[in-house]
Amino acid sequence: MDATPQTRQLWTDLPETLTTRIGALIGDVVSAESQPRGFSTGVAARVTTSTGGRAFVKAADRRRNAGTVDLHRREAEILRELPLAPVAPRLIGAADDADWFALVVEDIEGRHPGTHTGDTVRVLDALHALPPLTDDHGLPVSAEAEAEAMRGWHHLDDAPSGVVPPWAEQHREVLAECADGAAEALRGESLQHVDTRDDNILIELDGTVRIIDWPWASIGCGWFDALGYLIDARMRGERIDTAALLEQHPVFADATVENITAVLAGLAGHFLDKGRRPAPPFMPALRAFQRAEGLTALAWACERVERAPRTK
């Protein structure tokens, strides 16, 4: 489930001042292929230069969405400062003018996961292999940064009927109690991407997994991204044995039964609370996506509550 194409601006919407500065980084752009996937309101385009060079450009207009500009600036800092090669795209540079900011990175030729057998394991392997951090690089600590988000069940106390499905109401109290431990469950010393949807992952022809869109990078437990990806895969209807993956894949080696259920419950409450709110400007599909993610996390959390303590 993605944003509709008309929510994104196109390469042709960029002012000449900005395209000139982008050209100074990579050469004169002679073609641009806009990419519709994702929820940003700005430009996302694969570009080709007059010499045959390629790059990927993300740009946003602060008059339309200042928050997206902030995210692009943050991602530029992260790609510049963190040792993310080769999993993340290489930063080429950034350009701005009075209103716009553009992030220019390596163009990755690849497909999104979910269409080939073994994709889920490939993604989990890549997440497990994220480089260790030798210092905090100024990154937020997810146990603190996500603490309020994990309190979504408390915000749902006054939610209208139907926000929490009737089939989940019987577990509401225990889910809220589980979610109260979610923030601490995220504590750790690993690099986290924090937005591991399929559209933020590309698989190259040789099977190499590349992870894109890094503005939310944080420090925390090493399995949070993997759990988030499994929620996304379940939402998309992938045929995967999530119970077996939780038990057997090394990325989950340090995850306890209680911590996984707590984070699932916390994410369910967070996304259900977000999904009931008005959509941000130019992002009409975002709330429906958040509700779908919330319902998926909720169903999985309820399964675990009903079957506990027999499975991880």
- Whole-number pLDDT of residue 2: 46
Sheet holding 91-96, edge to edge: 29-34, 43-49, 54-61, 100-105, 91-96
Q: CATH classification of 5-105, choosing from 3.30.200.20, 1.10.3720.10, 3.90.1150.10, 3.40.50.360?
A: 3.30.200.20
- Mean pLDDT is highest, among 39-43, 147-151, 155-159, for 147-151
- Whole-number pLDDT of residue 110: 95
Q: Quickly count: other Cβ atoms within 10 Å of residue 107's Cβ.
A: 20
Q: Cα(245)–Cα(53) distance, rounded to whole angstroms?
A: 40
Q: Cα(298)–Cα(94) distance, rounded to whole angstroms?
A: 39
More reliable by pLDDT, 34 or 266: 266
DSSP 204: -
- Whole-number pLDDT of residue 308: 66
Q: Cα(142)–Cα(133) distance, rounded to whole angstroms?
A: 14
State residue 131 phi and psi, 5-degree precision: -65, 140
What class, spelled out in words, does domain 119-307 have in CATH? alpha beta
- Whole-number pLDDT of residue 232: 97
- Whole-number pLDDT of residue 32: 96
Place of tokens 């060079």: 53
pLDDT tens digit string along 14-64? 999 999 999 999 999 999 998 877 777 899 999 999 999 999 999 999 998
Domain with CATH 3.90.1200.10 in the chain: 119-307
- Whole-number pLDDT of residue 3: 41
- Whole-number pLDDT of residue 309: 54
Reply yes or no on whether the pLDDT at 310 is more than 70: no
pLDDT tens digit string along 85-137? 899 999 999 999 989 999 999 999 999 999 999 999 999 999 999 988 888 88
The secondary structure of 95-149 as a DSSP string is EE-SSEEEEEE-----B-SSSSTTHHHHHHHHHHTPPPPSS-TTPPBHHHHTTTG
Reply yes or no on whether the pLDDT at 306 is more than 90: no
Reply yes or no on whether the pLDDT at 196 is more than 70: yes
Reply yes or no on whether the pLDDT at 1 is more than 60: no
Longest CA span, the chain? 63
Domain with CATH 3.30.200.20 in the chain: 5-105
Residue 103: C-alpha distances to residues 43, 111, 163, 198, 262 (Å): 10, 21, 37, 21, 36
